[in-house]
Amino acid sequence: QAQLVESGGGLVQPGGSLRLSCAASESRFSRYVMGWYRQVPGKQRELVATITPISSTKYADSVKGRFTISRDNAKNMVYLQMNSLKPEDTAVYYCNANGDITYWGKGTLVTVSP
């Protein structure tokens, strides 16, 4: 069964960096638009960044200039490099694959706190 598995979350101080990874179980995900979303308890899940199969990218205004999404289709991997992290970036981050079917990972928690 196709799946997405996130990793790389954790606790980081404000101003720090983290790199999230998303491992896709099948090579067909290389043809999908991949994305990172985040959700805080009690709030709706929100888009962070997306990347097309040819690596065109889009970012939420709140992360532009700080976060970078990338993909390695040969390895079936998607990454989110997060720099200059702020407490308001604290959330569960989810990997998303959007194609003929939409897939979600189970999420990885990012906590930004002194």
- DSSP labels, the chain: ---EEEE--EEE-TT--EEEEEEESSGGGGGSEEEEEEE-TTS--EEEEEE-TT--EEE-TTTTTTEEEEEETTTTEEEEEE-S--GGG-EEEEEEEESSSEEE---EEEEE--
- Given a cut of 90, is residue 1 above it in pLDDT? no
| pLDDT tens track for 8-36 | 999 999 999 999 999 999 888 999 999 99
| pLDDT tens track for 31-84 | 999 999 999 999 999 999 999 999 999 999 999 999 999 999 999 999 999 999
* 94 strand-pairing partners: 37
- Per the listing, tokens 């101003």 go with 15
